[in-house]
Amino acid sequence: MTDLSLELLEEAPERLLEQLAAIHRNAFEAIGQQGWSASQIGSTLRHEGGFAVVAHGEGQARGFILIRVAAGEAELITVAVHPSAHRSGVARALVAAARMRLEAEGAETLFLEVRSDNVPAIALYEKLGFSRAGLRAGYYKTTAGERIDALMYQLDLG
Ligand SMILES: CC(C)(COP(=O)(O)OP(=O)(O)OC[C@H]1O[C@@H](n2cnc3c(N)ncnc32)[C@H](O)[C@@H]1OP(=O)(O)O)[C@@H](O)C(=O)NCCC(=O)NCCS
């Protein structure tokens, strides 16, 4: 994407939350998972230490990342890119922007959990230098009732 711009937010108007929910729904439905509603995204953002980076391109929001930080430890809560913008470096740019903000405020580690069947997300995290930090067996339950492991990853900052 040639005109990608990134916006750092600690709160978002309802109209933007609706756009982010549409991105989340499209991104997660493409991998057979359910996306979040605008109010779920809004309440996560309002948590203490929460912030988002939104990527805009070609006149609209294309993807976003939600982070929460407390006592020097940060968690990547979710990242989603609209399927029409996949593989154009949007997620890479979102993680880089979040990382810059976290390093500026002195956070030491960025943690995340991902379903073990989420091949694109695992490829992204490994490409960006996250390392495997553990596994929670059967942590996720699919709509069909199947149990799927969670993989935990971490990235040392600073
Ligand atoms: C995972 C996701 C955020 C990646 O977004 P993206 O903007 O397409 O990723 P990028 O273009 O920044 O990719 C950066 C690198 O990650 C890796 N990668 C990303 N998607 C990949 C895929 N489908 N297959 C293999 N590698 C992939 C590649 O190494 C890629 O670099 P390259 O394109 O130069 O090879 C996107 O697929 C998505 O929204 N998925 C659904 C939601 C989701 O799974 N979120 C994470 C939940 S924990």
Give the pLDDT confidence of 93-114 residue by residue, as tens digits: 999 999 999 999 999 999 999 9
Phi, psi of 32 (to 5 degrees): 75, 20
Residue with CA nearest ligand 1 atom 33: 87
Pocket test of ligand 1: the residue of 29, 53, 87 to mutate, having most ligand atoms within 8 Å of its CB, is 87
How many Cα neighbours within 13 Å face the side chain of 104?
6
- pLDDT number for residue 133: 97
Q: Residue 17: which of 33, 34, 35, 40 has the closest Cα? A: 40
pTM, rounded to two decimals:
0.97
**What parts of the chain have a pLDDT lower than 70?**
none
- pLDDT number for residue 144: 86
- pLDDT number for residue 143: 80
Domains of the chain: 5-156 (3.40.630.30)
Residues 6+ apart with CB under 8 A from 125: 112, 114, 153
Please tell me the distance from the alpha carbon of residue 10 to that of residue 51, in angstroms, as a whole number: 5
Please tell me the distance from the alpha carbon of residue 80 to that of residue 106, in angstroms, as a whole number: 25
Q: Is the CB of 24 under 6 A from ligand 1?
A: no
Question: SS in 3 state form for 85-145?
Answer: HCCCCHHHHHHHHHHHHHHHCCCCEEEEEEECCCHHHHHHHHHCCCEEEEEEEEEEECCCC
Taking the centre of ligand 1 as the mean of its atom positions, its distance from the CA of residue 128, in whole angstroms, is 10
Q: Is the CB of 80 under 6 A from ligand 1?
A: yes
Q: Which secondary-structure segment (H or E) carries 21?
A: helix 14-29
